[in-house]
Amino acid sequence: MVAVRTADGLLQDLQRLASDLESQDLRSGRFTASRTEQTRDRLIRIIRSYLIPRLTNPEAPLCVVFAGPTGSGKSTLINSLSGLKVSETGPIRPTTKGPVILASERARHQLENFGGLGCEVVTGSAPILSHIALVDTPDIDSMETEHRVMAENLIDCADVVVMVTSALRYADLVPWEVLRRAMSRGTPLIFVLNRVTGGAPGAMTDFASRLSDAGVKGDIIGVSEHHVEVGTHSVPALAVRELGRRLVGLTRDRDRYQQEILRRVIDSTTTQISDLADQVERDREWVGDIDTGIRAAFEDKAQALDLSDLVTGLQMSEVPEGGRLRSRHWRRSNRLGSRDLVELESTLRARLIARVESDLRRIILRDGQLGMIGGTVEDAARGVHLITGQAIDGWFDIVHREVDGIDRRDRNLAVMALISAALGSGHPRAAETLFGTDANVFTERARRELLDRLQVAYTQTAAHLCDSLRLVSGEREVDELQTRPTGVVTRSHFADA
Ligand SMILES: Nc1nc2c(ncn2[C@@H]2O[C@H](COP(=O)(O)OP(=O)(O)OP(=O)(O)O)[C@@H](O)[C@H]2O)c(=O)[nH]1
Ligand SMILES: [Mg+2]
Question: Can you tell me the mean pLDDT for 19-31?
Answer: 77
Residue 476 is classified by DSSP as S
Domain annotation for the chain: domains and CATH numbers: 10-280 (3.40.50.300), 287-468 (no CATH)
Among the residue ranges 137-151, 319-333, 398-412, 478-492, the one predicted with the least confidence is: 319-333
Mean pLDDT, the chain, integer: 83
Please state, in angstroms and as integers, the Cα–Cα distance from residue 104 to each residue in 37, 65, 127, 247, 344, following that order: 36, 16, 9, 16, 84
Pocket perturbation via mutation, ligand 1, pick of 82, 88, 95 by most ligand atoms within 8 A of CB: 95
- For CA atoms 438, 443, 444, 448, give the dihedral sign: positive
Residue 472: pLDDT above 50? yes
Distance CA 431, CA 393 (A): 21
Residue 333: pLDDT above 80? no
Distance 162 CA to ligand 1 centre (A): 15
CA atoms within 13 A on the CB side of 94: 25
Pocket perturbation via mutation, ligand 1, pick of 74, 86, 89 by most ligand atoms within 8 A of CB: 89
Residue 148: pLDDT above 90? no
pLDDT value of position 178? 82
Question: Can you tell me the mean pLDDT for 121-125?
Answer: 91
User: Residues 6 or more apart from 236 whose CB is under 8 A from it?
Assistant: 80, 226, 227, 229
Distance 173 CA to ligand 1 centre (A): 15
Distance 88 CA to ligand 2 centre (A): 6
Residue 485: pLDDT above 90? no
Residue 3: pLDDT above 60? no
Distance CA 71, CA 439 (A): 87
pLDDT value of position 30? 61
- Position in ligand 1 atom list of the atom nearest CA 77: 15
pLDDT value of position 88? 65
Residue 316: pLDDT above 70? no
Q: Is 228 in the pocket of ligand 1 (CB under 6 A)?
A: yes
Please list the residues that pair with 192 across neighbouring strands.
Answer: 164, 221
Note whether 380 and 468 are within 8 A (CB). yes
Residue 323: pLDDT above 70? no
H-state helical runs in 95-168? 108-111, 145-155
Using one digit for the tens of pLDDT, what is the confidence trace for 284-309? 887 788 888 889 999 999 999 888 88
CA 353 to chain centre: 33
Using one digit for the tens of pLDDT, what is the confidence trace for 124-147? 999 999 999 999 998 887 677 888
pLDDT band at 475 (very low <50, low <70, confident <90, very high): low
CA atoms within 13 A on the CB side of 131: 18
Q: Comparing 437 with 48, which gets the higher pLDDT?
A: 48
Distance CA 104, CA 82 (A): 11
Using one digit for the tens of pLDDT, what is the confidence trace for 170-192? 666 667 888 888 888 888 899 99
Distance CA 48, CA 22 (A): 11
Q: Is 89 in the pocket of ligand 1 (CB under 6 A)?
A: yes
pLDDT value of position 339? 80
Judged by its nearest atom, the ligand closest to the C-alpha of residue 140 is 1
pLDDT band at 362 (very low <50, low <70, confident <90, very high): confident
The share of the chain scoring above pLDDT 90, in percent, equals 36
pLDDT value of position 1? 40
Distance 104 CA to ligand 1 centre (A): 24
Distance 75 CA to ligand 1 centre (A): 7
User: Which protein residue's CA is at the shortest distance from atom 7 of ligand 1?
Assistant: 73
Q: Is 72 in the pocket of ligand 1 (CB under 6 A)?
A: yes
Note whether 7 and 492 are within 8 A (CB). yes
Using one digit for the tens of pLDDT, what is the confidence trace for 253-295? 888 888 889 989 999 999 999 999 888 888 888 778 888 888 9
pLDDT band at 497 (very low <50, low <70, confident <90, very high): very low
Q: Comparing 30 with 414, which gets the higher pLDDT?
A: 414
Residue 375: pLDDT above 70? no
Q: Comparing 496 with 77, which gets the higher pLDDT?
A: 77
pLDDT value of position 43? 94
User: pTM for the whole thing?
Assistant: 0.74
Q: Is 195 in the pocket of ligand 1 (CB under 6 A)?
A: yes
Q: Comparing 338 with 369, which gets the higher pLDDT?
A: 338
User: Residues 6 or more apart from 143 whose CB is under 8 A from it?
Assistant: none
